[in-house]
Each structure stands twice: as C-alpha cells, then as structure tokens.
A = this chain, B = another copy of it.
Amino acid sequence: MTTYDTPATTRREPKQERARHTRARLLHIAAELFGERGYANVGIQDIATRAEMTKGAVYFHFANKEELALAVVQAHYARWPEILGELSQRSLGPFDMLAATLDRVAEAFRDDVVIQAGARLQLERTMISEDLPQPYTGWEKNLTVLLERARDAGELQPSADPAATARILVAAFFGLQHISEVLTGRADMDNRFGDLRSVLLAHLRVPATAD
C-alpha cells in the first residue's frame, strides 16, 4: 500500500532506473519524517541519514527542502485519482459510492504515509511557500458531485444541500483525522470514522422504499 517504485513502467531506462528508485525512496522517507515530525522538525540531514546517503546526494534529486515537501504534497494528490479510479470499477449506487469513497479515504489516511504527510504539510503550508496546490476545495467538489448524483437518484434527503453537506463532510473528516492523530496517534481513527458514518451519513440517506 505504500510502495514507492513504479515497476509497471518500461525497463528501457537503464541509467535513470536507479535514480528513479532513489528519488522515490527519498520521497517516501521524506513523507515518513514530515508526517511524523512536521516540516520544520525534519532536516535534510535526517532524510539523508535514513536513506543512508549524504545531503549532497539528496540535493541531486531535489533542489531544496521546499521542493521535497512539494513533491510529497503532489504525490499525496496524485494518489486520489488512483483510488477513485478503483472505486469506479465497482458498480455501486450513488449513495453507496459516496459511502465507499469516504471509507476508502479513511483507510488511506490511516495506512498511507504519503497521504498523511501531504495532509500535515498542508497544515504547515505557511512555513513552506504559497505554491502548494490549494487544499480541500478538490474534495469539496468531488463530494458535491457524488451527493448530487445521490440526490438525483432520490437517495439523498431532499432537505440536504449537496454543496453545504460536502463542505461539512470535508471539515469533519479533516478534523477527525487530525484529532485522532493528536490524541491517540490514529489508533481510534476507525471509531471516530464510525461516528462520522452514524451521525452524518445515516441521516442523509433516504431509506430504500419497499415498493
């Protein structure tokens, strides 16, 4: 789930192959450390040490510390299309798709180092720079679309506004994940995510009628 190589690509870059691997390794290590300690508490030296390289070698792959952070954040965002793609394979009803999406995201936040690191770096974006991709809005849009589909299929409570609901879902999810990390090191994330399902999702769904 946290693989950092890209073996599917053609093997015909004999020279760059090692570099690609090294770069991916560095990115993954950076994600680990940034995720654990935060941007300011991770030195390039820490990354190099864990990768068993020197700082100079790290600087061959990344121009500076910010670029490393940026790469982690971009990797974070690159994950979502993959995940959503997998979900669209299964043919689910609109509301089930929404629920499955949230489940999948929760899983990713619980297990995927890059996802966690990207989220944390977004939290600390003021220390990095302004050229990070804008956070949250993408998910607000995604969820709005899913909610609208559910509404059109008659699976959503008519009183629910898709856009507002999406914003609250994103906020609640983000807060949940963060609180779980701070309080229990993500140990109770599943429980807290269960709260989200029961408190929010349950009320949104229109029960399947019997006719």
Contacts and interface: CB of A to CB of B under 8 A. Distances in A.
A100 interface: no
From DSSP, what is the main secondary structure of chain A's interface residues? helix
Interface in A152-188: 159-161, 164-165, 167-168, 170-176, 178-179, 182-183
Contacts of A41: 126-127
Interface residues of A, number: 41
Contacts of A165: 195, 199
A181 to B, nearest CB: 10
Nearest to A126: B38
A192 B122 CA distance: 20
Given A40-B40, A136-B182, A175-B174, A198 B126 contact: no
A183 B134 contact: yes
A206 to B, nearest CB: 13
A135 interface: yes
Interface string A105-134: 000000000000000001111110000001
6 contacts: A124-B124, A164-B198, A167-B176, A171-B174, A173-B175, A199-B200
Interface of A: 37-38, 40-41, 122-127, 134-137, 159-161, 164-165, 167-168, 170-176, 178-179, 182-183, 192, 194-196, 198-200, 202-203
Given A123-B178, A135-B179, A170-B179, 4 more contacts: A161-B198, A164-B198, A167-B179, A171-B178
